[in-house]
Amino acid sequence: MFEISSSSIEEYKSKSFVTPECGGVVTFEGRVRNHNEGQTVESLEYEAYSGLALKEGEKILEQVREKFDILDAFCVHRVGHLQIGDLAVWIIATSKHRREAFRACEFIIDEVKKTVPIWKKEHYADKSIDSKWVFCTEEHHH
């Protein structure tokens, strides 16, 4: 399942996805970092086009189930104004053997960055620099 949340997603970390046949559990936490491309970042604003983001997110989770031998996969993405250290995205993949869960988890975060309509605006410590919407150009054209 893919979710978007406008409040803290820390509590998802205590949700149990573990079943008796599960031998490997891999989680990924994406957190707000205090720097980007040489600038000190003070905070990040995330915005999502939910109607499409949820559909694209579910598509990624369907793909990951087809590609890898996993038991379960889940991803939640935060929106709103986040501070340094805040959890922006949380992913879990479970499998019988560890390798598939590692691969699945990495696949999900890579694809989320490419296809899910979520944007982020960086606010900088240096107030002479305007806040800006950032993106990775080469990932948008694939």
Partner 1 sequence: MKINIKYFAALREQANKSEEIIDTTYSTPGDIYTELKSKYNFSLNVDELKVAVNDCYEDFDYELKEMDTIVFIPPVAGG
Tell which residue, 90, 101, 92, has the closest CA to residue 67: 101
In the complex, least distance from residue 20 CB atom to partner 1, rounded to whole angstroms: 32
The answer to whether residue 32 forms part of the interface with partner 1 (CB under 8 A) is: no
DSSP, res 13 = G
Distance CA 95, CA 11 (A): 22
Whose Cβ is closer to partner 1: residue 10's or residue 69's?
10
φ, ψ (nearest 5 deg) of residue 64: -65, -35
The single residue among 3, 17, 23, 30 that binds partner 1, judged by CB under 8 A, is 30
The single residue among 88, 92, 93, 104 that binds partner 1, judged by CB under 8 A, is 88
Q: Are 94 and 107 a contacting pair, CB within 8 Å?
A: no
The answer to whether residue 120 forms part of the interface with partner 1 (CB under 8 A) is: yes
Q: Where are the alpha helices (DSSP H) in the chain?
A: 50-67, 98-115, 137-140
The answer to whether residue 90 forms part of the interface with partner 1 (CB under 8 A) is: no
Interface with partner 1 in residues 48-67 (CB under 8 A): 48-49, 51-52, 55
The answer to whether residue 129 forms part of the interface with partner 1 (CB under 8 A) is: no
| Through-space distance between the first and last CA atoms of the chain, rounded to whole angstroms | 25
Residues near partner 1, by CB under 8 A: 30, 46-49, 51-52, 55, 77, 88-89, 109, 112-121, 133-137, 139-140
